Structure 1
Amino acid sequence: MEGKTKFAFIGNSHIAYWPLESYFPQWECRNYGVPGEGLDYVERFHEDVSDSYVVIQFGTNDIYHLNTENMDVYVERYVKAVSAILSRGTYLFCIFPRNDFMDSTAVNRFIALLNEKIRKKIEEETNVVYLDVFDKFLLNDRLNPDLTIDDLHLNGAGYRILVHTLRELFCKYKNR
């Protein structure tokens, strides 16, 4: 009998707090999520996960260090870091929306632009499957509070969006 399909989840608190065993009992999941981390963590990630499918989500913690002048350099580093992780197949979730100060939606407009640049580069230069759930998390251009526990970290409803998207696209692309 063949063992469970192996998955390694890499990223920030959205990954770290994801109760993977509850949502994916059919998979052998390893959680490499670390709250507060971002691109630097993914760039220095050196665990051997080559026998696994990899799911990555990060970037939210890097947003306030970015602007239109350094965005393209960040995108280059981001895609290079994701591509450097050897796996059976890689699934990259977009950077999730977040709520900015004073009910502003400027941060989410910036994240949407950043995600578009990342998506385009991922699709043009890699075999990584890009999972765009950005709009599913929005309500009036802000992170939907009904999908979070604290206006940032996901609750069960938020994680169910990720689970549905990942399962659907894994079935579609697993033999890619």
Structure 2
Amino acid sequence: MIVIKRRQQMISTDEGYMRLEYFSENVAADKKRKEFDIKNHALCYTNQKPDFLFIGDSITEYWELNAYFGSGNHFLVNRGIAGDTTKYLKKRFYTDAVQLRPRYCILGIGINDSIELEGDYWKRLEPTPYNQVVATAKLHITEIVQQAKEENICLILTSLLPIHIPILMDERSRKNYIKELNEWLAEVAKKNNLIFVNYYATMVFPGTDKPLDKITYDGLHPNAKGYQIMATVLRNTLKKYEILI
């Protein structure tokens, strides 16, 4: 057996010492891999298909679905992972959604891609250009939509949520990103005959990009009241298509 050792790149500095690059990327999607593999195996083994599968990032993971939809006797599955991005959700979409053959798959992803607009001061990473961040997110979501179509998965697209986090280095760019991606998601849904659930419009003060008072835990993640708004919007939107949740 041949073992190839990769020499980690050392970076010369002008302060008279060498720095070492980071050994690996810290991927949020890995955090729940074992849990999801075990749960996915159970569903496949028992041939139980979810009625509604929610997949996305922390906004999905933290949603206590049965508290809002439990009275409908539907089989709900949550495949949200805090910190997930479009890049890695695309990579796990088959495993965590397609192979489980849900009746409906509710996708909420994209907000964490905008973190790249900030860069990383501690890792000395420069901000990624705005157009590049937007284009990359759109590309990955387009590929997810295409895969769902090819696999006959009924995909439901949802908007990104508003934010109010003044400590961000570039909150304005991230708000612009949210606005642009939401408009694009609505267009993609229309073009592909998909349902689009617009949480955003109901969670901001009219004519602004400011979240309603007391609907978030920290300026982004919904609290109980925020999730109640989302649940109502989702339920009312699906009802228009004679889908009950």
Q: Structure 1-normalised TM-score?
A: 0.83
In 2, the alpha carbon distance for the partners of 1:36 and 1:4 equals: 26
1:41-65 Cα deviation digits (max 9, x unpaired): 3201223232321111111111133
Higher normalized strand content (fraction of residues): 1
Output one character per residue of 1:118-172: Cα deviation in whole Å (capped at 9) or x when no partner: 2212311x23211112122224522334111122211111111211111112222
Farther off after superposition, 5-14 or 82-91 = 82-91
Q: 2:102 is matched with which residue: 44, 51, 65?
A: 51
State percent identity of aligned pairs.
Answer: 24
* Cα distance in structure 2, aligned partners of 1:82 and 1:19: 25
Distance 1:87 1:54 in 2: 11
Aligned to 1:133: 199
> Are the aligned partners of 1:137 and 1:143 in contact in 2 as well (CA < 8 Å)?
yes
1:157 aligned partner: 225
Tell me what 1:108 maps to: 175
Distance 1:80 1:61, change over 3 A: same
Cα distance in structure 2, aligned partners of 1:171 and 1:87? 21
Larger RCO (CA within 8 A; separation ≥ 6): 1
Determine the structure 1 residue equivalent to 2:15: none
| 1:10 and 1:57 in contact (8 A); partners too | yes
Q: Distance in 2 between matches of 1:4 and 1:170?
A: 19
Distance 1:50 1:152, change over 3 A: same
Distance (Å, rounded) in 2 between the aligned partners of 1:102 and 1:41: 27
The answer (yes or no) to whether the contact 1:79–1:118 under 8 Å persists in 2 is no
Structure 1 unpaired stretches of 5+: none
Q: Provide Cα deviations, 1:90-112, integer angstroms capped at 9, x if missing partner.
A: 22111112224358544223311
Change (3 A) 1:87 1:17: farther
Residue identity in the other structure for 1:154:
P
The answer (yes or no) to whether the contact 2:110–2:160 under 8 Å persists in 1 is yes
Please give the alpha-carbon distance, in whole angstroms, between the structure 2 residues aligned to 1:55 and 1:84: 14
Question: Would you say the 8 A contact 1:52–1:87 is kept in 2?
Answer: no
> Are positions 1:123 and 2:190 aligned together?
yes
Aligned to 2:40: none
Give the alignment of 1:1-150 within 5 angstroms: 6-25=51-70, 26=72, 27-44=74-91, 45=93, 46-47=95-96, 48-65=99-116, 67-85=130-148, 86=151, 89-101=154-166, 104-124=171-191, 126-139=192-205, 140-150=208-218
